[in-house]
């Protein structure tokens, strides 16, 4: 309390100076993510989001999980310790089990389908609940890419049976671990920042991520093959504190929303372009990159989700509504 009072007194003193007063009035937007500073989403946010809000807010990104550890960001926003984060349906499912529907393998078809689903009225009750109960507003949807299985082992993988006994690193939430087992592997929870070393030392046999992430985080240096399972067209949500949002003027809100959508669009197009070209890059690096029996994976994964406890928490008719979105 004493520290707070001192800070308050200091702020008052600073306000006497015109320039300092302007700085005081600016809205602070600290953004925490486990993504790197060279990830297409974070680059696009720096290029398009930061400048888009610069008149009234300071965008302050923190990368590699240095400000908050992976999957603790939503809690940090809810407690008022953070303003923004790149979050996921898997993380939201920890608070609201119904979000697990958006974590199901082979559900979203592509990047455009993700956008259609996010903007469809079917998302309204999901967004509302997150705002009301967590104090978090989901601004826009970001495209991470098609997740594939990336292994340091050499045996060819064609079907889920071929992943039996393979220790596959997954991010550390229940929904992610379920996806790993639905693929037929033995899922192991591990934070994103530990994956490179895990692969290097053999603590894990593999990991799953889209091709741009495999390159950005150099997983190709410590793995031998990429099995193009496309098991999850992965999305993230750009989240902002509802309290911060509510304190903005309507004009500021409009600018913030436009900047978020613009950054997501730039990042999406860059990720898609990279996905098209990276298989060749990895082959040139000596990795084996091939399509397995994708239908065998799809059948196995979809059956696992429909028979799972997760499906009990999904609103009636939601899978049909997701499938119909954008059609
Ligand atoms: C990961 O930990 O594998 C993952 O890809 C999960 C995503 O939801 C996303 O958060 C991503 O990490 C990070 O942003 C790092 O790119």
Share of the chain above pLDDT 70, in %: 93
Q: What pLDDT digit, counting tens, does each position of 189-248 carry? A: 999 999 999 999 999 999 999 999 999 999 999 999 999 999 999 999 999 999 999 999
Mean pLDDT (the chain) is 94
- Is 9 a residue whose pLDDT tops 50? no
Bridge partners (DSSP) of residue 28 are 58
Q: How confident is residue 23, by pLDDT bands cut at 50, 70 and 90? A: low
**Ligand 1 atom at minimal distance to the Cα of residue 191:** 2
Look at residue 22 in the predicted model and tell me its pLDDT.
Answer: 60
Q: How confident is residue 51, by pLDDT bands cut at 50, 70 and 90? A: very high
Q: How confident is residue 10, by pLDDT bands cut at 50, 70 and 90? A: very low
Ligand 1 centre distance from Cα of residue 271 (Å): 14
SS3 for 324? helix
Is the minimum distance from the CB of 213 to ligand 1 under 6 angstroms?
yes
Ligand 1 centre distance from Cα of residue 74 (Å): 14
Contacts of 294 (CB under 8 A, 6+ apart): 228, 229, 230
Ligand 1 centre distance from Cα of residue 220 (Å): 16
Q: Whose CA is nearest to atom 8 of ligand 1?
A: 88
Look at residue 4 in the predicted model and tell me its pLDDT.
Answer: 33
Distance CA 189, CA 167 (A): 10
Look at residue 25 in the predicted model and tell me its pLDDT.
Answer: 85
Q: Whose CA is nearest to atom 6 of ligand 1?
A: 171
Ligand 1 centre distance from Cα of residue 144 (Å): 8
Q: What pLDDT digit, counting tens, does each position of 290-303 carry? A: 999 999 999 999 99
Most ligand 1 atoms within 8 A of CB, residue of 43, 65, 66, 70 to mutate: 70
**Ligand 1 atom at minimal distance to the Cα of residue 39:** 16
Most ligand 1 atoms within 8 A of CB, residue of 33, 34, 194 to mutate: 34
Ligand 1 centre distance from Cα of residue 293 (Å): 25
Q: What pLDDT digit, counting tens, does each position of 131-159 carry? A: 999 999 999 999 999 999 999 999 999 99
Q: Which of 21-30, 177-186, 193-202 has the lowest mean pLDDT?
A: 21-30
Ligand 1 centre distance from Cα of residue 304 (Å): 23
Look at residue 144 in the predicted model and tell me its pLDDT.
Answer: 98
Q: What pLDDT digit, counting tens, does each position of 252-283 carry? A: 999 999 999 999 999 999 999 999 999 999 99
Is the minimum distance from the CB of 86 to ligand 1 under 6 angstroms?
yes
Distance CA 157, CA 134 (A): 41
Is the minimum distance from the CB of 176 to ligand 1 under 6 angstroms?
no
Q: How would you class 34 by CB atoms within 10 Å of its CB: exposed for 0-12, middle for 13-18, buried for 19 or more?
A: buried
Is the minimum distance from the CB of 39 to ligand 1 under 6 angstroms?
yes
Distance CA 258, CA 211 (A): 28
Stated pTM of the model = 0.92
Residue 43 tokens read as 């680059």
Is the minimum distance from the CB of 225 to ligand 1 under 6 angstroms?
no
- Is 24 a residue whose pLDDT tops 70? no
Is the minimum distance from the CB of 83 to ligand 1 under 6 angstroms?
no
Q: Whose CA is nearest to atom 5 of ligand 1?
A: 209
**Ligand 1 atom at minimal distance to the Cα of residue 90:** 8
Distance CA 216, CA 213 (A): 5
Ligand 1 centre distance from Cα of residue 56 (Å): 30
Complex ipTM over 0.85: yes
Share of the chain above pLDDT 90, in %: 92
Residue 204 tokens read as 């894990």
C-alpha distances (whole Å) from 106 to each of 207, 223, 319 are: 18, 24, 11
Instruction: Please name the residue that has the structure tokens 């009636």.
Output: 316
Distance CA 227, CA 291 (A): 6
Q: What pLDDT digit, counting tens, does each position of 92-111 carry? A: 999 999 999 999 999 999 99
Is the minimum distance from the CB of 217 to ligand 1 under 6 angstroms?
no
């Amino acid at each position: 309390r004493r520290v707070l009072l001192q800070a308050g007194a200091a702020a008052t003193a600073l306000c006497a100076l015109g320039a300092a007063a302007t700085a005081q009035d600016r809205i602070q937007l600290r953004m925490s993510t486990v993504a790197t500073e060279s990830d297409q989403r974070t680059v696009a946010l720096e290029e398009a989001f930061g400048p888009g809000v610069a008149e009234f807010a300071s965008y302050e990104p923190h990368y590699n999980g240095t400000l908050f550890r992976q999957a603790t960001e939503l809690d940090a926003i809810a407690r008022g310790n953070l303003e923004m984060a790149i979050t996921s349906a898997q993380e939201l499912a920890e608070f609201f089990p119904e979000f697990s529907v958006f974590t199901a393998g082979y559900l979203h078809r592509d990047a455009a389908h993700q956008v259609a689903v996010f903007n469809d009225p079917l998302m309204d009750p999901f967004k509302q609940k997150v705002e009301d109960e967590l104090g978090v507003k989901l601004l826009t949807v970001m495209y991470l890419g098609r997740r594939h299985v990336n292994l340091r082992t050499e045996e060819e993988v064609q079907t889920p049976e071929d992943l039996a006994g393979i220790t596959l690193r997954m991010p550390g939430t229940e929904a992610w671990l379920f996806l790993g087992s639905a693929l037929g592997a033995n899922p192991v929870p591990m934070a994103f920042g530990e994956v490179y070393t895990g692969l290097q030392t053999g603590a894990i046999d593999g990991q799953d991520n889209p091709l741009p992430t495999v390159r950005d985080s150099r997983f190709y240096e410590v793995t031998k093959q990429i099995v193009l399972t496309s098991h999850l067209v992965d999305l993230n949500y750009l989240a902002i504190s509802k309290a911060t949002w509510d304190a903005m003027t309507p004009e500021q809100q409009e600018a913030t929303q436009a900047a978020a959508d613009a950054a997501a669009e730039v990042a999406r197009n860059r990720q898609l372009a990279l996905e098209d070209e990276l298989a060749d890059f990895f082959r040139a690096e000596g990795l084996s990159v091939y399509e397995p029996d994708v239908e065998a994976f799809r059948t196995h994964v979809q059956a696992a989700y429909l028979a799972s406890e997760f499906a009990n928490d999904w609103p009636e008719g939601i899978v049909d509504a997701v499938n119909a979105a954008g059609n």
